[in-house]
Amino acid sequence: MNIVLLGFPGAGKGTQAEKLVEKYDFRHISTGDLIRQEIAQGTPLGKEVEATIESGNLASDDMIISILVKAIKDEKRGVIFDGFPRTIAQAEMLDAYLARRGAQVDAAVLIKLSEAEVLKRITSRRVCQECGAVYNTNAEGYSGKCGKCGGALYIRPDDDERSARHRLEVFHKETQPLIEYYERGSKCKGVDGSGSIDSVFKEIETALGLSKGEEK
């Protein structure tokens, strides 16, 4: 089973993907992580993507699909696509690539959340400089240091309020039509993202039929 995770930035897509991987052994593909890896390695593509992101825009379709194909070309497991596709054009590119492999996107899970809650989550997010673990300043027990490696936490440039509001504007303009794209194909499955992590996960399991023991 190949799954696309949809929702505002900060809606909890990464967290839910991790839980699906842990329980059902999916391969989690986060284009954000792949992009950051390219940037950290200082590749020509990474430098180009970094300049694009710092200007407040999204990486081009060609940039993203090149990175994505490289990551999944030998993958045999079901894949969770997190952060891709963002546009109908990207969705069509993904469909075409998967079709060549005799596969498809089986479901698009939309994690629904209000804009106010999204802004609150994004601006309170902190990331470990050493291992990349993600924390929230509003979470119980938050200490300002990484609980995994003890590293210092920082605010990513795209997590400040100005950048967060711009990302919401981009979502409405470019990604909202993607929801309609999957709805037309009867593949979009909405879940309430405002509950606890576990309650949202149970909704996702039910929406995907995983709670009934269906195979990936």
Asked if the peptide bond before residue 85 counts as cis, ω within 30 degrees of 0, the response is yes
Of the candidates 120, 156, 165, 202, the residue annotated as catalytic is 156
Per-residue confidence band for 215, with pLDDT thresholds at 50, 70 and 90? very low
CA–CA separation, 143 vs 195, rounded Å? 23
Q: Model confidence over 60-113: pLDDT tens digits?
A: 888 888 888 888 988 999 999 988 898 898 999 999 999 999 999 999 999 999
pTM of the model: 0.75
Which domains are seen in the chain, by residue range?
3-113+163-212 (3.40.50.300)
Could you give the strand order of the β-sheet that contains 188-192, starting from the edge strand earlier in sequence?
27-30, 79-82, 3-6, 107-112, 188-192
Residue pointed to by tokens 């938050």: 142
Least Cα distance to 187 among 213, 209, 211, 214 occurs for 209
Q: State yes or no: is 167 an active-site residue.
A: yes
Note if 86 is an active site residue.
yes
Beta bridge partners of 156: none
Instruction: List the beta bridge partners of residue 128.
Output: 153
Is 184 a residue of the active site?
A: no
Alpha-carbon span 45 to 47, nearest angstrom? 5
What is the three-state SS of 94-126?
A: HHHHHHHCCCCCCEEEEEECCHHHHHHHHHCEE
Reported as a single tens digit per residue, the pLDDT across 115-170 is 888 888 889 999 999 998 989 898 888 999 999 999 999 998 888 888 889 888 88
> Catalytic annotation on 126?
no
Q: Please give the sequence-ordered ranges of beta strands (E in DSSP) within the chain, or none if there are none.
A: 3-6, 27-30, 79-82, 107-112, 125-128, 134-136, 153-154, 188-192
- Find the catalytic residue in 121, 125, 126, 189: 125
- What pLDDT does residue 112 have? 93
Per residue, the 3-state secondary structure of 60-76, as one string, reads CHHHHHHHHHHHHCCCC
The catalytic residue among 121, 126, 167, 189 is 167
Q: Hey, which residues does 124 pair with through a beta bridge?
A: none
Q: Of residues 86, 121, 126, 189, which has the active-site annotation? A: 86
